[in-house]
Amino acid sequence: MSAGSAEFSLPIRVYIEDTDAGGIVYYVNYLKYFERARTEFMRSLGYDKAALPEEDLMFVVSKASLQYRDPARLDELLEVTAQVISVGGATLTFVQSVNRAGECLVDGEVVIALVSTLTGRPRRLPTALRDRIGV
């Protein structure tokens, strides 16, 4: 099922722990930035955690694809975006980007799946979550 949620944006400052010895953001940290934006997006929908522990459910990344275009550097202010572009029975597909002053540095697609914390098996997305996303 297709979805067209509004784009969510999170400002992030680049700190020394995000960078390599040359002051450039280490490549894996862009995945951390993506994670923070998705977590804050879910929080904006009323889900305070990246899981639904009261229902023994959690989200896991099942696929991630990134395109690195230009590096971010120490102390820069970035905008990290997250937008749901597709909703499946147990999955949400996000398109995400890291931008500096309107320039896209990294973009990609991340699929998260809802699974049981007890079995690790996929579980259907709750109707309330689908409604909040606008599906």
Domain encompassing residue 38:
8-133
List CB contacts of 62: < 8 A, sequence separation 6 or more: 91, 111, 112, 113
Tell me, what's the pLDDT at 51? 63
1 belongs to a structural domain: no
What's the whole-number average pLDDT of the chain?
Answer: 92
pLDDT of residue 45: 87
Q: Tell me, yes or no, whether 110 lies in a domain.
A: yes
Tell whether 108 is covered by a domain: yes
Q: Is residue 3 part of a domain?
A: no
Q: What is the pLDDT of residues 91-110, one digit of tens each?
A: 999 999 999 999 999 999 99
Non-local CB neighbours of 89 within 8 Å, separated by 6+ positions: 122, 124, 125
The pLDDT tens digits for 10-48 are 999 999 999 999 999 999 999 999 999 999 999 998 887
- Alpha-carbon radius of gyration of the chain: 15
**Tell me, what CATH number does 68's domain have?**
3.10.129.10
122 within domain boundaries? yes
Residue 28 lies in a domain: yes
CB–CB of 53/114 below 8 Å? Answer: no
| 83 located within any domain | yes
Answer yes or no: is 2 within a domain.
no
Residue 4 has pLDDT above 80, yes or no: no
Query: Could you tell me whether strands 103-116 and 8-13 are parallel, antiparallel, or unpaired per DSSP bridges?
Result: unpaired
What is the C-alpha separation between 76 and 85, in angstroms, rounded?
28
pLDDT at 1 over 80: no
Comparing C-alpha atoms, which of 8, 4, 2, 13 is closest to residue 82? Answer: 8
Q: What is the pLDDT of residues 44-65, one digit of tens each?
A: 988 876 667 667 899 999 999 9
**Total domains, the chain:** 1
Residues annotated as catalytic are 20
